Amino acid sequence: MATTKAKAAQAAEEAQAPKKGKKRLVLIVLLVLIVLGGGGGAYEFLLAPHPATKRHHGPPLPGPTYTFPQLTTNLDDGHIVQLQMVLQLASGDTTAEVAHDLDELNNAAILTFGQMSYGQLLPTAGRVAAASALEGAFNHVLASGAPPHDEVVGIEFTSFIVQ
């Protein structure tokens, strides 16, 4: 009889053991979820970059523009070019240095176009090459002044006539 009671007690303990194990498992899973949720919330609140501090990943924001005065000059082969252009400056620059160095920039443009011919400037590719050459010449002039240096990042012709 004692063995029967012992067996019954042991069977009762084994029946309660799975219930205790399930409760423990559920409790552990809930605690893990709470800790992970709290950690994720803390990360979002404290460490994640906020919209105001996120970096801009698109194209660079355009800087100021400077409308260059009309320019008429001779080409290498005796023809002339008459043009107007807008200089696109780097973001954060001002037009103050460009306005200050306007005479030197005008001279750089005259020297640059003085090395080109009518045949070079007539096709679109020639005008694109001229804009690139002017950009380099202008940046050379602007870099020779006192810091901070403005930087020309693009040139758009608003009028371009070769005769």
**Each residue's pLDDT tens digit, 6-53:** 666 666 566 555 566 788 888 888 888 888 888 777 777 777 665 555
What is the chain's mean pLDDT, rounded? Answer: 83
Confidence class for position 59, pLDDT limits 50, 70, 90: low
Nearest Cα residue to 78 out of 118, 19, 39: 118
pLDDT confidence of residue 16: 58
Output the CATH code of domain 65-162: 3.30.479.30
Q: Tell me the H-state helices in 43-123.
A: 96-100, 102-114, 118-121
Whether 91 contacts 60, CB under 8 Å: yes
Residue type, 60: P
Q: Where are the domains of the chain?
A: 1-54, 65-162
89 and 152 Cβ atoms separated by less than 8 Å? yes
Q: How far apart are CA 78 and CA 125, in angstroms?
A: 21
pLDDT recorded at residue 110: 95
* Element of type H or E holding 159: strand 152-162
The answer to whether the predicted template modeling score (pTM) of the entire model surpasses 0.85 is: no
Q: Is residue 56 scored above 50 in pLDDT?
A: no
Count of residues in the chain: 163
Helix (H) or strand (E) holding 130: helix 124-143
Is residue 153 exposed (0-12), middle (13-18) or buried (19+ Cβ within 10 Å)? middle
Beta bridge partners of 155: 87
